[in-house]
Structure 1
Amino acid sequence: MLSFESLIVFSAILFIIVSLYKEFMNPALTFIVGVLGLGVAGILEPREILAGFANEQIAVIVLLLLVGEVVRKTGVIDQIFDLFFRSSRTYRQFLFRMTAIVSGLSAFLNNTPLVAVMMPYVHNWSKGEGRPTPSKLLIPLSYASILGGCATLIGTSTNLIVNSMITEQQVIQGLRPLEMFEFAWVGVPMIVLGGLYLVVVSGRLLPENRDYFAEFKANTRQYLVETRLRPGAGLVGKSVSEAGLRNLQGLFLVKVLREGNGIAPVHPELKLRQDDILVFAGDTSTIADLLTAYQDLQPVEVELFGGNGAGMHMVEGVIAYNSSLENKTIKESQFRSQYDAAVVAVLRGGERISGKIGSISLKAGDVLLLLAGRDFQELTRENRDFYVLSETRKPPKVETWKAVLPIAGLVSAIVLSTLKIVPLFLSVSVLLAVLLLFRVASAKDIVGGIDYNLVMIIAMSLALGVAMTKTGVAEVIASNMLLPMMRFGNIGVMIGVYGVTAVLSSLMLNKAAVALLFPVVLTLAQQTGMDPLGLILCMTFAAAANFLSPVGFQTNMMVYGPGGYSFKDFFRIGLPLTMMYMVVTVGVLSVMY
């Protein structure tokens, strides 16, 4: 019979799973509400809720993410990609080089900025005559970063989160922290096998979906309509609001071109003049209705991105997972004023969303086609809400020494940590201090680069694990869900752990999956007498090597919208890779542990 406290913990777990799957609220807030509920019920003490914030591994995760952001901004990754991909001529050549370099880099750098930097190369390479659309390359790009990230302790935050949980249990359970290259015994063979798999099957299994950004650049008239006021028009002298141009169905006024200059965003009180050109964006299939309703307007042909463009250029971006823009309409987000860019179209699941642009509620993975102004790059420099994937204007180059210093420093920090000369926390902290001293990064970069949501999720996950262990919930789950696999021996238990973790990670954030399963796996190891590190690593690989759906891993969500993929596209190519990864993981770990 379950105790009352156990029922409360089960209720908190159920709430967290449902909330994450249904997206009732963002992941950080979900964990906060769940864990605070356990605190109010008296199951967790305040010190147990707050203990995670003092965990060294959380600090290491934050520091490594900050260094990764600095590396991304210096442009050194762009230079490396230029060197490797410049001479690629065929699809197989490009795919092979991409999987090799991305998996190699992601073993030591955060994979999210790597994928964000690589996406423009995919788009640019795909422009060549006879070459496939980006949809043939974007899933392999994400999977290559995942394969590489699983090969080292610092390759993905999931590995570091598990290590933080181990350090929390180090004294109680007698566990030791994981080594830097302890993941390599499984990770490196899978980089080779997984990379070859992607090169061989991607061209056959992945769809060739439309490249909306290429269409957008080739034919802006599908998305933008320019109109001029007819001579003697009654709208002359009226404000935009008085003319009724603020709340059009399916269209919105992006900007007004006046005397060679662009006025954007357009203030509702702006007075219209005779020679003004009004640029509308959105569902241009309704243009006939617009011209019928407003006979003072007539369509014109204007070179929007030439002289009259007033610095405007086209951008493609994708809404990030856990973005502050999620579940807000474009109008509510004040996108134009915040980023000096107008949303011209929104793509979701490979299809363009019709209707009034300002009323569209944004979701993670949505692709935005933007008309951006001069200040766009500066205003989005510290942006974490969406990733710029393709842009008709390139950022300025950074001095070579500033690009090399963060990479050299990170390599030195990893070497010192591996040789156990200096702890990783201290070496990366010193590196950040040096980057600030030599002005490679600014204090604003450091503060703006901290992922507070991730920190909150990890800290609350540790507290949830404490509650599951204290109340016996972890033991109940282990006994009823995974212990029956013992009839198939230790191999059966490991397969059970891998399978449950892989499925759970495909339905929710993989960091949440390891938070829920870590105490269960630890209890299972005690009940079966198996080496706990072997089972913990089995769970970690299953969570981090997330190929079955776009939901569980951030890079999968990043490519989901731009590639125009469906869930079945991920499942079709990801299931064989998952099975391959499970066989290698269980085989290697059963021998080692």
Structure 2
Amino acid sequence: MELQQIIFLAILAVALVLFISEKLRVDLVAMLALLALTLTGILSPREALSGFSSEPAIIVAAVFVLSAGLSVTGITDRIGKAIGRAARGSEWRAIAVTMPATAVLAAFSHHLMITAMMLPVLMRLAQVQKISASRLLMPMSLAASLGTTLTLFSAPAFLLANNLLERSGQQRLDIFAITPIGAVLVLVGVIYMLAGRWLLPKRQGDVQNGNYLRLDRYYTELVVDAESPWAGRRLGEFELAFENRLQVVDWLRLGARRLRQHPNSHILSGDVLLVRASPDEIASIKDEPGLSLHAVAKYGEKPREDGQDEALGEEQLVQAVVAPHSEFVGRSVADIDFLQSMGVVVVGLWRKEGWLHGELSEMVLAEGDLLVLWGPQRNFETLSTHRGFLMLMPFNANKKVRRRAPLALAIMIAAVFAAATELLQPQIAFLAGAVAMVLTRCVSIERAYQEIDVRIFVMIAGVIPLGIAMEKTGTAALLAKFLADHAQNLSVYSLLLVMFAAAALLTQILSDAATTVLLAPIAFALAESLGLPPVPFVICTAMGAVASFLTPIGHHGNLLILNPGQYTFGDFLRIGVPLTTMIGLTVAWMARWLWLEGPLLPAFAGG
């Protein structure tokens, strides 16, 4: 063993210990490894920094922005709710509909975002259908992870594997090269979860106590503007158009509550609708044609009576909790006159128990009420010391720009089409799509930067040099020779399984990207030593890093559902081990069939 190989293995060992122990963040560990490889002379500065301009890093950053565009314009929410409606009826149908639909969404977006989007949808579905949440959440999370095997850009592991093949002189894979494998894996996953439903635990999670996402709905008032497209239309039409977005609780005209609130009753300009809405919807109302927040329309544009500057300017939304024994308790919103006394207006209210009716300004406040206040930042700085409020918090809401949904969808389709047909290089196609999302204001530049997970970007850029160093020092070839010498009696199919299994185990303690960077060069060298095409060996390794479900820590999506579904480590082990075994057998079979002209049916004997 040469000196450079010893130095590289020492750096790799330290990096692995730091990765596994999580004493430092994974992106920082990747940067330390990069510096160590450069300072020891194993890599040149150009080689060490090549990861930042690499195809995987660029595509991952661009996909984050493209996913944000689909989310901000409401496309993912709309699809998620449609899936929820289609899944109603029975537990069997819920799983059969949710899994393939979730997988397809995850193929073209970030799987973690899809899991987070589907989580409240399935929690509500479980509550309505009286199904244990734990029977639905794990199949959905597994489907989101399996969906990343449908396209090459869905998971960093596949981008890194493709990057290795291209660096080594192999032809680059197109973005749908792995789709046949992914499609079979999704089918296997759906059949397994339907046939093995008895393995799923029956626990209600947080649905039963109702605390999960309890702050999802606030009360607010909408006023129908003059010349609004909703003026003269029926209430039923309004409720249908805003289904799952707004829930009409009460209806006022000329300050009086309407006694007849029939779906066929007509809405008029100036009518006020008391609705329950999510924070995102409240923040997005001003972009809805013909509708305004009542308090803002009533007070927002009026100057102060004392002749001072306008009370509202550079406005923002803030939440305030009414404190115990507050001077506000027992008084109505109108009686307190928030605009006159504090320079803000109340645009929303959340209350733990009971339904609200009537005009928001006439609501009598109680301890623990959560008010949504609208006003300039300078007034909130003063308000933060007011004893009537227990605390002030940012109003966490993501504004939706739904009118640009068709444009965002067109941009996403165009980016995928350009990459798939090689009209543009994949990294350029997705980068162009991300820039188009910002230029067309489907997503703001600030939101675009917020959505890019810098930790993942830096980690990918940092681990690529580890793979380069493994090849350059000959360590990959050395380990591959050792493996080949001890696997002479194994068939090609068995060797593909070995590479899948090695990655499936290592990815439980490392990320899929790090696992692929470490094992893919060995898989490549092993294939070369056997005189076989390296693509199936590298793809099997990447598949093992992505599609292994042995523990809840193997995928971040599993961590999202852990508490809502009240899952245990044993639940994932009991369901994940058989599934991962089936996936490994399927991946090796499909890889051999696609790239090695193997038989249609798997066989352990013969190559």
**Distance in 2 (alpha carbons) for counterparts of 1:188 and 1:453:** 30
The equivalent of 2:140 in structure 1 is 141
Shift of the 562–30 alpha-carbon distance from structure 1 to 2, 3 Å rule, reads: farther
| Per-residue CA distance 1:260-311 (angstroms, 9 max, x = gap) | 379xxxxxxxxxxxxxxxxxxxxxxxxxxxxxxxxxxxxxx99699833342
CA drift at 1:25: 1.4
**Distance in 2 (alpha carbons) for counterparts of 1:110 and 1:197:** 24
The equivalent of 1:177 in structure 2 is 172
What is the TM-score of this pair, normalised by structure 2? 0.68
**Distance in 2 (alpha carbons) for counterparts of 1:214 and 1:554:** 25
Where 2:128 maps in the other structure, the secondary structure is: coil
Shift of the 128–416 alpha-carbon distance from structure 1 to 2, 3 Å rule, reads: same
Partners of 1:166 and 1:177 within 8 A in 2: yes
Shift of the 444–255 alpha-carbon distance from structure 1 to 2, 3 Å rule, reads: same
Equivalence map 1:140-289=2 (5 Å): 140-167=139-166, 169=167, 173-201=168-196, 203-212=197-206, 214-215=208-209, 217=211, 256=324, 258-260=326-328
| Per-residue CA distance 1:69-93 (angstroms, 9 max, x = gap) | 2212222111112223225021111
- Which shows bigger deviation, 577-586 or 114-123? 577-586
**Distance in 2 (alpha carbons) for counterparts of 1:524 and 1:261:** 74
Shift of the 90–304 alpha-carbon distance from structure 1 to 2, 3 Å rule, reads: closer
CA drift at 1:405: 2.0
**Distance in 1 (alpha carbons) for counterparts of 2:572 and 2:409:** 32
The amino acid across from 1:187 in the alignment is G
Equivalence map 1:50-199=2 (5 Å): 50-87=49-86, 88-128=88-128, 130-132=130-132, 134-167=133-166, 169=167, 173-199=168-194
Shift of the 260–194 alpha-carbon distance from structure 1 to 2, 3 Å rule, reads: same
The equivalent of 1:441 in structure 2 is 443
Equivalence map 1:434-513=2 (5 Å): 434-481=436-483, 483-513=485-515
| Per-residue CA distance 1:192-243 (angstroms, 9 max, x = gap) | 1211211221x3112223523642539x9xxxxxxxxxxxxxxxxxxxxxxx
The equivalent of 2:242 in structure 1 is none
The equivalent of 2:394 in structure 1 is 375
Where 1:487 maps in the other structure, the secondary structure is: coil
| Per-residue CA distance 1:508-530 (angstroms, 9 max, x = gap) | 21111101112211211221112
Shift of the 256–6 alpha-carbon distance from structure 1 to 2, 3 Å rule, reads: farther
The amino acid across from 2:5 in the alignment is S
Shift of the 163–573 alpha-carbon distance from structure 1 to 2, 3 Å rule, reads: same
The amino acid across from 2:395 in the alignment is F
The equivalent of 1:585 in structure 2 is 587
Where 2:548 maps in the other structure, the secondary structure is: coil
Shift of the 255–488 alpha-carbon distance from structure 1 to 2, 3 Å rule, reads: farther
The amino acid across from 2:205 in the alignment is D
Where 2:452 maps in the other structure, the secondary structure is: coil
| Per-residue CA distance 1:47-70 (angstroms, 9 max, x = gap) | 221111121332122111111122
Shift of the 38–82 alpha-carbon distance from structure 1 to 2, 3 Å rule, reads: same
The amino acid across from 2:211 in the alignment is K
Equivalence map 1:9-48=2 (5 Å): 9-48=8-47
- Which shows bigger deviation, 92-101 or 121-130? 121-130
**Distance in 2 (alpha carbons) for counterparts of 1:150 and 1:254:** 49
Equivalence map 1:548-567=2 (5 Å): 548-567=550-569
The equivalent of 2:418 in structure 1 is 416
**Distance in 2 (alpha carbons) for counterparts of 1:41 and 1:536:** 28
Partners of 1:509 and 1:551 within 8 A in 2: no
- Which shows bigger deviation, 203-212 or 68-77? 203-212
The amino acid across from 1:181 in the alignment is F
Partners of 1:65 and 1:110 within 8 A in 2: yes
Where 2:202 maps in the other structure, the secondary structure is: coil
Partners of 1:482 and 1:493 within 8 A in 2: no
Partners of 2:63 and 2:434 within 8 A in 1: no
The amino acid across from 2:396 in the alignment is Q
Partners of 2:414 and 2:433 within 8 A in 1: no
| Per-residue CA distance 1:461-502 (angstroms, 9 max, x = gap) | 111112212222222322334652331121221111111111
Shift of the 303–257 alpha-carbon distance from structure 1 to 2, 3 Å rule, reads: farther
- Is 1:570 aligned with 2:572? yes
The amino acid across from 1:453 in the alignment is R
The amino acid across from 1:260 in the alignment is F
**Distance in 1 (alpha carbons) for counterparts of 2:392 and 2:194:** 39
Cα RMSD (Å): 3.0
Shift of the 511–303 alpha-carbon distance from structure 1 to 2, 3 Å rule, reads: same
**Distance in 2 (alpha carbons) for counterparts of 1:546 and 1:56:** 25
What is the TM-score of this pair, normalised by structure 1? 0.69
The amino acid across from 1:515 in the alignment is V
Where 1:44 maps in the other structure, the secondary structure is: coil
The amino acid across from 1:509 in the alignment is S
The equivalent of 1:288 in structure 2 is none
The amino acid across from 1:473 in the alignment is T
Equivalence map 1:287-366=2 (5 Å): 307-308=365-366, 309-311=368-370
**Distance in 2 (alpha carbons) for counterparts of 1:43 and 1:257:** 68
| Per-residue CA distance 1:95-130 (angstroms, 9 max, x = gap) | 111102101111222211111111001111121263
CA drift at 1:257: 5.4
- Which shows bigger deviation, 92-101 or 428-437? 428-437
| Per-residue CA distance 1:422-452 (angstroms, 9 max, x = gap) | 3333333333333323322111112222222
The amino acid across from 2:35 in the alignment is L
**Distance in 2 (alpha carbons) for counterparts of 1:501 and 1:372:** 48
Shift of the 372–581 alpha-carbon distance from structure 1 to 2, 3 Å rule, reads: farther
Partners of 1:106 and 1:145 within 8 A in 2: yes
Shift of the 425–41 alpha-carbon distance from structure 1 to 2, 3 Å rule, reads: closer
The amino acid across from 1:205 in the alignment is L
| Per-residue CA distance 1:6-50 (angstroms, 9 max, x = gap) | 222222222222222222111111222223222222222222211
CA drift at 1:259: 2.0
Shift of the 62–129 alpha-carbon distance from structure 1 to 2, 3 Å rule, reads: closer
Where 2:23 maps in the other structure, the secondary structure is: coil
Shift of the 3–119 alpha-carbon distance from structure 1 to 2, 3 Å rule, reads: same
The number of residue pairs the alignment matches comes to: 444
The amino acid across from 1:531 in the alignment is P
The amino acid across from 2:98 in the alignment is M
Shift of the 422–139 alpha-carbon distance from structure 1 to 2, 3 Å rule, reads: same
The amino acid across from 1:145 in the alignment is A
Partners of 2:205 and 2:563 within 8 A in 1: no
Shift of the 449–499 alpha-carbon distance from structure 1 to 2, 3 Å rule, reads: same
Where 1:551 maps in the other structure, the secondary structure is: helix
**Distance in 1 (alpha carbons) for counterparts of 2:51 and 2:401:** 39
**Distance in 2 (alpha carbons) for counterparts of 1:302 and 1:142:** 30
**Distance in 2 (alpha carbons) for counterparts of 1:567 and 1:507:** 15
**Distance in 2 (alpha carbons) for counterparts of 1:175 and 1:555:** 33
Unaligned runs of 5+ in 2: 215-320, 331-350, 357-364, 373-380, 385-389, 596-607
Bigger Rg, which one:
2
Partners of 1:67 and 1:432 within 8 A in 2: yes
**Distance in 1 (alpha carbons) for counterparts of 2:329 and 2:100:** 47
Partners of 1:98 and 1:141 within 8 A in 2: yes
- Name the % identity: 24
Shift of the 427–470 alpha-carbon distance from structure 1 to 2, 3 Å rule, reads: closer
